[in-house]
Structure 1
């Protein structure tokens, strides 16, 4: 790899570290090509990506970035999983680590917060962005349906009272 290619890789990694909601670093020693393809497919399906890069170039790319604290994890055969969704990469990496003993999570970062393996597991257990939006929408919709019910209830009560009065007068 010549100098221009290395600079391009450093720029790409720098953009990844700046724009990702979460970055997870893991060892992948002993994984087969099929395992890596499976990991990439799962990550892509969840809206994330997988990147294998030279540790030295990744450390250069981390300089001055909010998640610079993960530089300590970049030793040995490491792979970086990342996503814009603050939970997707952590969730997929955590599930994959349970299925594949050769995939070992070292830690990660969420913004400028460093995450140890337990922190990655905690982020993985958080609801996704879409789930949070759905919960907020349901909370916003609940008062509206309650108001509609409250407004409609007195009218139905009045109608039933009037119907009862009419029946009494007719009798």
Structure 2
């Protein structure tokens, strides 16, 4: 890799780090090509991306950023996983790491926060954007149902009273 390619790679990493909702760092030593392909497919399915990075270039890309302290995690073979939202990459990475002996999460960052493996796991347990939208929609629908029944309740009572009066008049 010549100097111009390295500059392009650093610029790409800077864009990734700046634009990602969260970034997960993981050791992947010992993974087969098939395992890496499977993990990348899982990531892609959830809107996330996985890339193996050169540590030196990643450290350069982190310089001057609020999450520059994450540079300490870039030792040995490191892959980064990221997505535009902050939940997708941690969810897939943590799930895969639970089943794998060779894929280990070493940390991550989001905004100015730098996480250890436990922090990434906690982040992965948060509901995704779609789940939050579903929960909000469900709450709105239940509120709408409650409002409709409250509005119909007096009318039903009134019609019952009219029917009772009508029965008395007929009798």
Contact 1:86 1:129 in 2 (8 A): no
Instruction: Please list, as runs of the form range in 1=range in 2, the aligned pairs for 1:67-86 lying within 5 A after superposition.
Output: 67-86=67-86
Contact 1:11 1:61 in 2 (8 A): yes
Q: CA deviation at 1:34?
A: 0.3
Once superposed, what is the RMSD of the aligned Cα atoms?
1.1
Residue 148 of structure 1 corresponds to: 148
Listed one character per residue, the Cα deviations across residues 51-78 of structure 1 (whole Å, up to 9, x for unaligned) are 1111000111111223222111100001
Name the CA distance, whole Å, in 2 between partners of 1:167 and 1:78.
83
Instruction: Please list, as runs of the form range in 1=range in 2, the aligned pairs for 1:127-138 lying within 5 A after superposition.
Output: 127-138=127-138
Q: Which runs of 5+ in 1 are unaligned?
A: none
Instruction: Please list, as runs of the form range in 1=range in 2, the aligned pairs for 1:49-68 lying within 5 A after superposition.
Output: 49-68=49-68
Which SS does the other structure have where 1:79 is aligned?
strand
- Normalised TM-score (structure 1): 0.96
Q: CA deviation at 1:40?
A: 0.2
Name the CA distance, whole Å, in 1 between partners of 2:110 and 2:132.
17
Name the CA distance, whole Å, in 2 between partners of 1:162 and 1:9.
79
Listed one character per residue, the Cα deviations across residues 129-167 of structure 1 (whole Å, up to 9, x for unaligned) are 111122223333333322221111100110111112111
Moved over 4 A (4+): none
Residue 9 of structure 2 corresponds to: 9
